Amino acid sequence: MKKILITGASGFVGRAFAARWQYEYKLLTPSHSELDITDETSVDSFVMAHMPDVVLHLAALSNTWYCEQHPEESLLVNVVGSENLARAAARYGAKFIFFSSDQVYNGNKEQGPLSENATVSPVNYYGRHKLEAEQRIAAILPTAVMLRLTWIYDAPQPAVPHADFVNNMINAVKEGATLTVPVREYRGITWLRDVVNNLPLTFSLPGGVYNFGSGNSVNTYETACCFYEMLYGGDASRIVTPDYERYPLACRNLSMNTDKIFRASGGCICFPATIDGLRLFVEMVPVKG
Ligand SMILES: NC(=O)c1ccc[n+]([C@@H]2O[C@H](COP(=O)([O-])OP(=O)(O)OC[C@H]3O[C@@H](n4cnc5c(N)ncnc54)[C@H](OP(=O)(O)O)[C@@H]3O)[C@@H](O)[C@H]2O)c1
């Protein structure tokens, strides 16, 4: 049985990964207090003591707004912490999987789905630090697999509230609030199930950066209207209103092309388009509340 060290195992993705794969792998899931990734010595000792086959590095400060307010903390956790883990993975021979973000493309002026070769020009600390982490990890450990994730959603879990595309819509409807959604924005939005199911297939990929999530050819406002109609039927305009003001100079385009990972995995890693993923989600999960 492969041994996998998951950092950030108590987080949104880590919990779902552990629940899905607990019987197929031996999972090491230290909490933040048991393994602080910013402590280089602890990271080295932990990896040396447990000798995992794979380090699945999910721990992060993942809130972009928080990172903007606390750039030094973001640098420490998202860059230095990632570097500490990459160094330990290199030293003890573990495959390293790093979760980066589509935010590295924020600021790119191109249209259409972006490949990994597209210009990266992050506009906030979170995106800049994810990009810097990718670069430092690649220098330490060329076999590291760095995945650029989209915004991820899942069904509401009352015990663990989470602000994502699905939860934001359901909460707005429950509260009778209006959801103002940008028209001049293109981004993929991916079901957590698809992320988690595809992850083990990344363990055997050659090192490098890969886009990893659903593509989307329609804008975020259209995506929200479509999702409302799937969930509730009828006219979305009661809840979803278009925001034409955000991103006035150029559309914000984070939508990704996933041809590289599809080819590198021999056609095994694929994601439905965002709208198709949402449709499957609505068919399979009773979420209306
Ligand atoms: N969710 C998304 O939509 C999304 C999109 C793109 C990329 N990503 C990336 O995917 C990864 C997983 O995201 P997520 O949504 O699961 O994040 P999350 O729910 O915010 O979880 C973050 C995890 O990191 C842990 N952590 C934070 N600082 C730590 C430290 N210094 N040492 C050890 N553990 C620490 C947290 O533990 P405590 O809570 O105990 O501090 C928590 O378990 C992150 O790298 C994130 O940037 C997520």
Tell me whether residue 230 is in a domain: no
pTM value is 0.97
Domain for residue 285, yes or no?
no
pLDDT at 289: 54
pLDDT at 15 over 90: yes
Does the pLDDT at position 284 exceed 90? yes
Q: Does a structural domain hold residue 71? A: yes
Distance CA 289, CA 58 (A): 29
Range 115-135 average pLDDT: 97
Residue 181's DSSP bridge partners are: 242
Percent pLDDT > 70 in the chain is 99
Is 41 inside a domain boundary? Answer: yes
Give a yes or no: residue 281 inside a domain. Answer: no
Give percent of the chain above pLDDT 90. Answer: 94
Instruction: Tell me the best of 39, 58, 82, 196 to mutate to test the pocket of ligand 1, counting ligand atoms within 8 Å of each CB and taking the most.
Output: 58
Closest atom, ligand 1, to C-alpha of 78: 45
- Inter-residue long-range contacts of 118-121, CB under 8 Å, 24+ positions, other chains counted: none
The pLDDT assigned to 159 comes to 86
Average pLDDT over residues 2-26: 98
155, part of any domain:
no
Query: What's the mean pLDDT when you consider all of the chain?
Result: 96
Number of domains observed in the structure of the chain: 1
| Domain CATH number, residue 125 | 3.40.50.720
Site to substitute for ligand 1 among 57, 62, 165, 271, most atoms within 8 A of C-beta: 62
* End-to-end Cα, the chain, rounded Å: 39
Q: Is 264 in the pocket of ligand 1 (CB under 6 A)?
A: no
**pLDDT for 68 beyond 70:** yes
The Å distance, Cα 46 to ligand 1 centre, comes to 19
Distances (CA, A) of 35 to 102, 177, 252: 27, 40, 37
Tokens 């819509």 found at:
169
168 belongs to a structural domain: no
Q: Which domain holds residue 62?
A: 3-150+192-214+256-272
pLDDT the model gives residue 158:
83
pLDDT at position 287 is 80
pLDDT in tens, 161-194: 889 999 999 999 999 999 999 999 999 999 999 9
For atom 24 of ligand 1, the residue with the nearest CA is 59
User: pLDDT tens across 224-235, in order?
Assistant: 999 999 999 989
Residue 28 lies in a domain: yes
